[in-house]
A = this chain, B = another copy of it.
Amino acid sequence: MSGFWDNIDFVRDELQKVNKIIKRKVRCSEKTIESALIDIFDNNGKMLRPGFVILAASFGEYDSDKMTQIAAAVEMFHNATLIHDDILDDSKIRRNMKTVQEKYGKEAAVLIGDFLLSRCMSLLTVCDQVDTIKGVIRSMERLSVGEINQMMTKKRTDVSINSYLKRIAAKTAILFSLSFFIGAVESRCSKDIANRLKKIGFDLGMAFQIKDDILDLIGDRTFGKSIGHDLMEGIYTLPVIYALRHDKELEEILSSDKIEDLNYLIDRIIKNGGIEYSEGLAKRYTSKALKNIETLPNNSSKLVLKEIALQLAERKY
């Protein structure tokens, strides 16, 4: 796991337990599945979502065995959706590693994703709140609808900011939100606190995805993602959608069959204020989250949450 939680002892230690649970749950008689999944979880990014589960749960009656299991399920769910997403986007590399679909083929990737999903669901049977399982199901539903929508609106230069916001809600914010919510309800937080945490998760997710989309255009290339990937795939994110409103030529270039000079395109997007506008909107979501964090009961998790919100907003990769 990357060093994102390194300074937050409590979460870091719990996430080590989460990793152990995941390693146990991806064991499988079919060794192709097992080794594909071990590769993924040996190299599983920031572990934001399971960290959120744990943080939110610490606002209630924290039960380590239960919470680490739920956090593992959430991380597995997220990765199952990534495996299926990579099939869609025909992505070859994720986190500097070959994707499952690149290494084992699209066909195997479908099943490996399904398998991981079933293992994630089996962990969730530990949950005793009916809202939890409903939330996961709803999130899965929204994700698939959002992705299909993204597929269907590919290369459409008339896509609205509103439709973009819906898309990233489905893609990212809903699972962020759910991670906070599950942690809260499963640790018996009050309804009011659980709903506040849910909102905080949502806004952090929106800010996170907008930032991600900015970094896809102007970010550091060391993260293992190539620059301009979405743009080349015909997926127009906020900076592009905003710039398109002010730049007829950009529309013409995008409508032509082949993009020849990516850097020239990105320059036009910057010049037309696409990045600036997007940075502004991301900041607004972060501020909204921070404002809601302020209303939470005072404890160390609240301080951590504030710190995390700022760190995510300022990240460079």
Whether a CB of chain B sits under 8 angstroms from the CB of A259 is no
- Interface size for A (C-beta < 8 A) is 38
Query: What's the Cα separation between A115 and B143 when bound, in Å?
Result: 8
Whether a CB of chain B sits under 8 angstroms from the CB of A87 is yes
| Contact (Cβ within 8 A) A140 B114 | yes
Query: What's the Cα separation between A121 and B140 when bound, in Å?
Result: 10
Query: What's the Cα separation between A130 and B147 when bound, in Å?
Result: 31
| Contact (Cβ within 8 A) A87 B115 | no
- State the copy count for this chain: 2
| Contact (Cβ within 8 A) B107 A88 | yes
| Contact (Cβ within 8 A) B141 A122 | yes
Query: What's the Cα separation between A117 and B170 when bound, in Å?
Result: 17
Whether a CB of chain B sits under 8 angstroms from the CB of A111 is yes
User: What distance in Å separates the Cβ of A21 from its nearest Cβ neighbour in chain B?
Assistant: 16
> Which residues in B have their C-beta under 8 angstroms from that of A119?
141
Binary B-proximity of A231-252 (CB < 8 A = 1, otherwise 0) = 0000000000000000000000
Query: What's the Cα separation between A18 and B117 when bound, in Å?
Result: 26
> Which residues in B have their C-beta under 8 angstroms from that of A106?
87, 106
Whether a CB of chain B sits under 8 angstroms from the CB of A255 is no
| Contact (Cβ within 8 A) A125 B134 | yes
| Contact (Cβ within 8 A) A151 B107 | yes
Stretch at the interface among A29-37, A46-54, A294-302: A29-37
> Which residues in B have their C-beta under 8 angstroms from that of A114?
84, 140, 143-144
User: What distance in Å separates the Cβ of A207 from its nearest Cβ neighbour in chain B?
Assistant: 25
Do A110 and B110 form a contact, CB below 8 Å, given A122-B137, A144-B115?
Answer: yes
User: What distance in Å separates the Cβ of A151 from its nearest Cβ neighbour in chain B?
Assistant: 6
> Which residues in B have their C-beta under 8 angstroms from that of A143?
114
> Which residues in B have their C-beta under 8 angstroms from that of A8?
none
Which of B84, B121, B133 contacts A111 (CB under 8 A)? B84
Whether a CB of chain B sits under 8 angstroms from the CB of A138 is yes
Do A30 and B137 form a contact, CB below 8 Å, given A106-B87, A111-B84?
Answer: no
Do A121 and B145 form a contact, CB below 8 Å, given A110-B110, A111-B88?
Answer: no
Sample 8 A-B pairs with CB under 8 A, ordered by A number. A29-B145, A30-B149, A108-B151, A118-B141, A118-B144, A119-B141, A121-B137, A121-B140
- Contact surface of A with B, Cβ cutoff 8 Å: 28-30, 32-33, 84, 87-88, 106-108, 110-115, 117-119, 121-122, 125, 130, 133-134, 137-138, 140-141, 143-145, 147-149, 151-152
